[in-house]
Amino acid sequence: MTEITTLLQIFIWGLTAGCIYVLMAVGLNMIFGVMKVVNFAHGEIMMLGAFSSFGLYYYTGLNPYFLMLFSMVIIGVFGVMIERFGFRKVLGTGKLNEIFLSLGLIYILQNAAVKLWTDDIRKINSPYSSMALDLGVLNITYDRIIAIAFTALILISLYLFLTKTDVGRALRATSQNHEAAMLMGVNVNHMYMLSFGIGAALAASAGTVHAILSPFNPYMGTIPGIMAFTVIIIGGLGSIPGAIIAGLMLGLVQNFTIFYFGGAWKEAVAFVLLIIVLVIKPTGIFGEEH
Amino acid sequence: MTVRELVGKYAVSLYTAYLLLVIIGLALPLLITDDFFNRIIILTFFYIMFSTSWNLLAYSGQASLGHAAFLGIGGFASTILIINGVTPVLGVLTGALAASLVGLFLGIICVRLKEWFLGLVTFGFAIIMAAVVNELSVFIEAINGVLIAVGLSGSMDPHMFGGSLGIYSPDIVSRAQYYYLFFFAMVGTILASHLVIRSKIGFAFAAIRENQAEAAMMGVDITRYKLIAFMISTFMAGFAGALFAPYNYFINPEIFSIHNSFMPIIMTISGGIGTIGGPVIGALVINLLWEQMGLWGMSIDRLLILGLILVLEILFLPRGLMPLIKKITEKIAGTTSRDMPL
């Protein structure tokens, strides 16, 4: 009989892993909702976020959680550039071209990162790394608590931004109906850039959280990228609540799988979950017909 | 009738060009004197087969982002069978069939999915295959052990034509045998792709790709033809893998790598997606470029360059090299755009 504390510990690990997926998947879904584009290079943007936070941390030595905000801005601007000079050019020329463009970006970003920073394993040392919340039966490191709290904070501010501000409303209008939004005076091209920027910034925060919790190198983004895609399919393409629930669910399922069956099955179980969902409901749990 | 007209009408029909290429291909081993060059040519033939397989699936509007999965399944299945004493020919065909069956299974899951979903599922599938096979790594090491032992001693014989044929054996006969094996496999694959695309099945694929709803209205059985596309394409990919792994004397889960899934995509797009000649030209150009960059000592740089090529092509040359080649052949032939069977 497994002890309840072990199970709780795995639950916490699953939750933090899920938070990284949620941050990635919500960003992907923002981009998909507005532009109807899935960015396959999202994992690579996450990796760049980790490196940008690492670089800032390396040169300033400040608190990485504070630096993460700057990193989000840097990578957000980078995301806007990718949209403006990449995806914008192929929008409407067929979905396959958008897929192939993001494949090219994976090659470019990943290998440029290896070229610039080598593939050595690095880690961002959080000032709280040795501290943990002692609950008597189990210890939760502060870094994991911060990761969970931070994700919640981001989601709440994103929600407020989308519902309470004019720009947020314009974004939602664009995602519901391009033509109508355009007729109402929304600059759709700006919305595209904005959604890509927000998506990239969220990926950068996911990358930083990942880099604080575990070591990383330029190849770190590939698997979380794929898992984020799996999450948005399971949750329903374009549905943000779906991404949150599916993201946390996948994090938990994977960590319990690692515990019971071993690490190699962590990706396989995600795929099994994906197949089950697609067979039962091809549009995902919260998805609508597109 | 001027000479130019005559040439345009008969001599430079594409079938003549094909015939010419086949003759060059048949004569080439006479000119190949070193093993390294022979290996690169064989690798090119292999990539032509693999790209042709990917292109056929894309022709039906389904772009796989994890085609390496089928390459790997074919490779592992044939290797395991051959080292357990199954006749090589049977082993290779069974490997291809295994890939095709898995392809059918994945096709059934994907049949209702549109571009993005299909891309995500196939992409994930290759990664998951790698993870699963990695889990069986002890088993795989044993396979490689046997393969290497076989390669060195030549006592057990995983070859297609019999005889003792190491890869780097200086034996000119073995070099030519491997060359012809891959050459005929490649010609067969291209021919099969040609026949499929020019048949009723091919028209159904194109109809589905252009507009699924309209195709359904015209009476095309969408599910059936999408699954046929999956089965033929994955059979070809499995066949390429099943042939290459025993030749290579080495196979590991790396065969499922993202890189192997992307190579046929980059090659097909470079040549021209949706054409029969596209994957051939693309695989030739990209593979030779790739190997040349390897000789220049590039490793990370050549991956970076590959990414740049793909992005620039999508932005500025989305139809690849094929329209250019078509224009040149038309210029030589002096005819205007007939429906050339490219």
Q: How many domains does chain A contain in total?
A: 1
| Residue-number span of the structural domain to which A188 is assigned | 21-119+137-218
Choose from A100, A118, A237, A275 for mutation: most chain B CBs within 10 A: A100
Q: What local confidence, expressed as pLDDT, does residue B165 receive?
A: 37
Q: What local confidence, expressed as pLDDT, does residue A67 receive?
A: 92
Q: What is the DSSP string of B134-168?
A: HHTHHHHHHHHHHHHHHHHH--S---SS-S---TT
Interchain CB distance below 8 Å, A104 and B311:
yes
Distance CA B265, CA B258 (A): 11
**In chain A, which ranges are continuous DSSP H helix?**
4-35, 42-60, 64-82, 88-90, 95-117, 142-164, 166-176, 178-183, 188-213, 222-235, 240-261, 265-280
Q: What local confidence, expressed as pLDDT, does residue B109 receive?
A: 85
Interchain CB distance below 8 Å, B115 and A108:
no
Q: What local confidence, expressed as pLDDT, does residue A98 receive?
A: 87
Adjacent-strand bridge partners of B246: none
Task: Compute the nearest-CA separation of A84 from chain B (Å).
Answer: 13
Q: Is A280 inside a domain boundary?
A: no
Cβ–Cβ under 8 Å, residues B131 and A272:
no
A108 contacts on B by Cβ (under 8 Å): 304, 307-308, 311
A:B CB pairs within 8 Å: 119
Q: How far is CA A49 from the centre of its chain?
A: 11
Q: What local confidence, expressed as pLDDT, does residue A20 receive?
A: 94
Choose from B114, B127, B129 for mutation: most chain A CBs within 10 A: B127
Tell me, what's the ipTM? Answer: 0.86
Interchain CB distance below 8 Å, B307 and A111:
yes
Grade residue B162 by pLDDT with cuts at 50, 70 and 90: very low
Grade residue B342 by pLDDT with cuts at 50, 70 and 90: very low
Q: CA-nearest residue of chain B to A38? A: B116
A86 contacts on B by Cβ (under 8 Å): 311, 315
Of A97, A108, A265, the CB nearest to B308: A108
Task: Compute the nearest-CA separation of B35 from chain A (Å).
Answer: 31
A106 contacts on B by Cβ (under 8 Å): 258, 307
Grade residue B14 by pLDDT with cuts at 50, 70 and 90: low
Q: What local confidence, expressed as pLDDT, does residue B339 receive?
A: 47
Task: Say which residues have a Cβ less than 8 Å from residue B144's Cβ, sequence separation at least 6.
Answer: B250, B251, B252
Interchain CB distance below 8 Å, A99 and B115:
yes
Interchain CB distance below 8 Å, B120 and A230:
yes
Q: Is A172 inside a domain boundary?
A: yes
Q: Which tokens hold the place of B92?
A: 């290779």
Of A97, A112, A223, the CB nearest to B304: A112
Distance CA A137, CA B262 (A): 49
Local structure of A140: helix, strand or coil: strand
Q: What is the mean pLDDT of chain B?
A: 81
What is the identity of the amino acid at B90? L
Task: Say which residues have a Cβ less than 8 Å from residue B225's Cβ, sequence separation at least 6.
Answer: B60, B201, B204, B205, B208
Local structure of A133: helix, strand or coil: strand
Q: CA-nearest residue of chain B to A102? A: B311
Q: pTM for the whole thing?
A: 0.86
Whether A290 contacts chain B with CB within 8 A = yes
Q: CA-nearest residue of chain A to B116? A: A38
Each residue's pLDDT, cut to its tens digit, for chain A (290 residues) gives 567 888 888 898 899 999 999 999 999 999 988 888 888 899 999 999 999 999 999 999 889 899 999 999 999 999 999 999 888 888 877 778 888 999 999 999 999 999 999 888 888 888 887 777 777 777 788 888 888 999 999 999 999 999 999 999 998 888 888 888 888 888 888 999 999 999 999 999 999 999 999 899 999 988 888 889 889 888 888 788 889 999 999 999 999 988 888 777 787 788 888 878 887 887 777 776 55
What pLDDT, in 10s, does the model give residues B122-161?
Answer: 888 887 788 778 777 656 665 665 555 444 333 334 343 3
Q: What local confidence, expressed as pLDDT, does residue A240 receive?
A: 86
Q: What local confidence, expressed as pLDDT, does residue B12 receive?
A: 54
Distance CA B83, CA B144 (A): 10
